[in-house]
Structure 1
Amino acid sequence: MENVKWHPPPNPWLSPNQIKVTKPPKNRLPQTNTYLKYIGLSFQLFAIIGLGTWFGWFVQQKSQMRFPVWLLLFCFLSIVIAFYQLFISMKNDEKSEDDNKKV
């Protein structure tokens, strides 16, 4: 008897013409980088607000005032700085998107 290899039967539901190999779109990579950028930006905002609040608490403890004026001042100041950084980042992203659309 001959040495015969067994091959599974072809799938009757798919003909060779129906099988298509698709490549992922090329524009997926910048979108992923954008997500990573904004995740990093959220950590930066958290760090700025956290450090500003901690510094306000530290100054407040050293001044020994009853009303937490330094804590409030540095907390709100750090929030303003964090949102300014967010605004600048969004403005730069919008500018780069407009440049990419022109090309």
Structure 2
Amino acid sequence: MALFRKGPGRNEDENSLSKYAYYSGLGFQMIAIIGVFTFIGYKVDQNSDNEKPVFTAILSLVGVCISLYSVIKSVRKQ
């Protein structure tokens, strides 16, 4: 297996695995941010007497914008 290789190629495998883990973490971070903002919007809509889920829509879009900003900032730092 490539994970247990010894020699000159080992550093490249560790580097690619490290990048994979980093970018996977960014994806989970995006999901968490969007989920938290959507949940907050949902709870606000439950407590208010709106016919349409306005706060859910607005806060989910805010969550998308914040998560994109966070990912772009992290990728540019890399």
| Fold match (TM-score > 0.5) | yes
Structure 2 spans left out of the alignment, 5+ residues: 1-5
Q: Does 1:30 align with 2:15?
A: yes
Structure 1 spans left out of the alignment, 5+ residues: 1-21, 94-103
1:53 counterpart (38, 44, 51): 38
RMSD of equivalent CA atoms: 1.4
Sequence identity percentage:
29
Instruction: From the two aligned structures, give the one with the greater helix fraction.
Output: 2
- Cα deviation, 1:47-91, whole Å, max 9, x if unaligned, reads 111111111000011112112211111010000011111101110
TM value normalised by structure 2: 0.82
Larger RCO (CA within 8 A; separation ≥ 6)? 2
Q: Matches of 2:74 and 2:13 in 1, distance apart? A: 21
Give the secondary structure class of the aligned counterpart of 1:27.
helix
The count of residues paired between Structure 1 and Structure 2 equals: 72
TM value normalised by structure 1: 0.64
Consecutive aligned runs of 4 or more in structure 1 exceeding 2 Å deviation: none
Q: Matches of 1:89 and 1:60 in 2, distance apart? A: 32
Q: Pick the structure with greater CA Rg.
A: 1
